[in-house]
Amino acid sequence: WVGDWAVPQAIVMCESGGNFDAVNPSSGAGGAYQILPSTWESYGGEGLPQNASPKEQHDIAAQIWADSGGSAWVCAG
């Protein structure tokens, strides 16, 4: 892993280019890690991922990675 990301940097760059404010207009996934709002909520996130602080995005992405590994991200496939 390279960089200060909760998942491999290559996945983050593919998903959002590292943009914490990114939103996928098709799926509604948001933030640097492109987390779906329903997944975000299920991990205790409030509001939308793209509106959360980088720290909260990192924390929730780390939890998702611990539970699901790369299978939670299209770019990991």
In tens, the pLDDT along 8-67 reads 999 999 999 999 999 999 999 999 999 999 999 999 999 999 999 999 999 999 999 999
Amino acid making up residue 59: D
**What are the beta bridge partners of residue 35?**
30
Which tokens go with 32?
A: 């640097």
The strand pairing partners of 30, in sequence order, are: 23, 35
Contacts of 64 by beta carbon, 8 Å cutoff, 6+ apart: 33, 35, 39, 43, 72
Check if the beta carbon of residue 15 is closer than 8 Å to that of residue 32: yes
Q: What is the pTM of this model?
A: 0.93
